[in-house]
Amino acid sequence: VSLNLIMLGAPGAGKGTQAERIARERGIPKISTGDILREAVAAGTELGRRVKATMEQGQLVSDELMIAIVRDRLAREDARRGFVLDGFPRTVAQALSLDEIMRGRDPLIVADLAVAEADLVRRLANRLVCGSCGTNAVVDAAGNAPKSCQQCGGPLVQRKDDNEAVVRERLQVYQRQTKPLLDFYRSRPTFREVDGAQSPERVAADLSAAVDSALKQITSTQGAGR
Ligand code: AMP
């Protein structure tokens, strides 16, 4: 069975960090729509020029554009044996299209990283990312930030959309447009909720166990169908 995993959760819940980690552990690509868009903006491509203002305001890019990007990406050879999607789907329309894209492939496993709203605001305000490789670094309780990226030594910067006004907008967009996805997916036998308020190591362990139990669930139903 392929691990076809989608990570749900509010901005700041730890989706990117956990997606990166589990993708590495399982040897499958991490596909982050936010990274794809940020790279396009940095490279100044046609796509980048189209989405730049929307991203800086904390709004969502159109479903049509996002669905086309993900459809192309999931058709690539390296995604055939599984993938971790981070940041997609973000609307019910995107989720419906994803089901259609996934027809004939192994079922989606859906992991929701649950974190309280007050924690999200604090995490986003304190978040620094590496300008070279995109790895997150966190300012500690005393307000100290590391000097450079722990992974590659690159410069740490604040994401343009992590400033307070835009963070508030992104959390509202999440409540309004993305949170309804929980009701869309919750009844599926492969839906799992993970407590995202724990340390990154504990979240990773819980996520890994949740994914294994969902994979088992898929194997047992597929076996029964034969
Ligand atoms: P992220 O890194 O996932 O927080 O994404 C950063 C920004 O990219 C979001 O605030 C949106 O403007 C845009 N974006 C990323 N993924 C999507 C998506 N699936 N649908 C719409 N907009 C997206």
The 10s digit of each residue's pLDDT in 27-49 is: 999 999 999 999 999 999 999 99
If one compares 151 and 13, the residue with the highest pLDDT of the two is: 13
Average pLDDT over the chain, rounded to an integer: 94
Q: What is the pLDDT of residues 142-199, one digit of tens each?
A: 778 888 998 899 999 998 999 989 999 999 999 999 999 999 999 999 999 999 999 9
Nearest CA to ligand 1 atom 5: 34
Residue 62 CA, closest ligand 1 atom number: 21
Check pocket membership of 37 for ligand 1, CB cut-off 6 A: yes
- Print burial letters for 93-129: b (CB count within 10 Å at least 16), e (below 16): ebbebbeeeeeeebbbbbbbbebeeeebbebbebbbb
What is the band of 223 on the pLDDT scale with cuts at 50, 70, 90?
Answer: confident
Three-state secondary structure of the chain: CCEEEEEECCCCCCHHHHHHHHHHHHCCCEEEHHHHHHHHHHHCCHHHHHHHHHHHCCCCCCHHHHHHHHHHHHHCHHHCCEEEEECCCCCHHHHHHHHHHCCCCCCEEEEEEECCHHHHHHHHHHEEEECCCCCEEECCCCCCCCCCCCCCCCCEECCHHHCHHHHHHHHHHHHHHHCHHHHHHCCCCCEEEEECCCCHHHHHHHHHHHHHHHHHHHHHHHHHHC
Inform me whether the pLDDT recorded for 95 exceeds 80: yes
Q: Which of 87, 176, 86, 166 is nearest to 125 (CA)?
A: 166
Inform me whether the pLDDT recorded for 225 exceeds 80: no
* Claim: this prediction has a pTM higher than 0.95: no
Q: What is the pLDDT of residues 54-88, one digit of tens each?
A: 999 999 999 999 999 999 999 999 999 999 999 99
Check pocket membership of 174 for ligand 1, CB cut-off 6 A: no
90 Cα to the center of ligand 1, angstroms: 8
Sign, CA dihedral 38-42-48-51, equals positive
List the catalytic residues.
Answer: 15, 90, 127, 159, 170
152 Cα to the center of ligand 1, angstroms: 25
Check pocket membership of 66 for ligand 1, CB cut-off 6 A: yes
The residue to mutate among 61, 63, 67, 86, having the most atoms of ligand 1 within 8 angstroms of its beta carbon, is: 61
CA angle 47, 55, 145 (to 5 degrees): 120
pLDDT at 150: 86
89 Cα to the center of ligand 1, angstroms: 9
Inform me whether the pLDDT recorded for 133 exceeds 80: yes
Inform me whether the pLDDT recorded for 224 exceeds 80: no
